[in-house]
Amino acid sequence: MKDSSIKTRIFWMAGTTIVLFLSFVLCRYVFFSLHGNRGWAVLMLIIALAVTGISAIFDSRKIMSCTAVGYIGGFALGMIFNVSGVDPGGGATSNWWVIWAASFLVIVAIGVLWEIIGRSSRIILTA
């Protein structure tokens, strides 16, 4: 592995992590009044950081980018398409967290497919 490759991986990992933490601050603190949930943003951040870390090991920049976009984008989609209601016991219900998680996973899956297609086309072109 080249020294520049390691520096590039560190740069992408650091950049994606900074974007994720800024997105976390927005979701957890700035927009807290929209959802009122203390723990979901933290759980999603942990998952996003794990995906980013694994992606950095395999030098998968497209997956790292989609993870950062998926975190804040999934939150935005969850807030836009949120349906609130009341359960039979009188408690409040909301599906924003399901939409956030599903959107996040779909966007990360798109990044995985993008990475696979990009790597397979490089292999075909170099063969």
Q: How far apart are CA 19 and CA 64, in angstroms?
A: 11
Give Cβ neighbours of residue 80 (< 8 Å, ≥ 6 apart).
none
Give the domain ranges of the chain: 3-126
From the DSSP assignment, how many helices (H) and strands (E) are in the chain? 5, 2
Per-residue pLDDT of the chain (127 residues; tens, 9 = 90+): 565 688 888 999 999 999 999 999 999 999 998 888 889 999 999 999 999 999 999 999 999 999 999 999 999 999 999 988 887 887 777 899 999 999 999 999 999 999 999 888 777 766 5
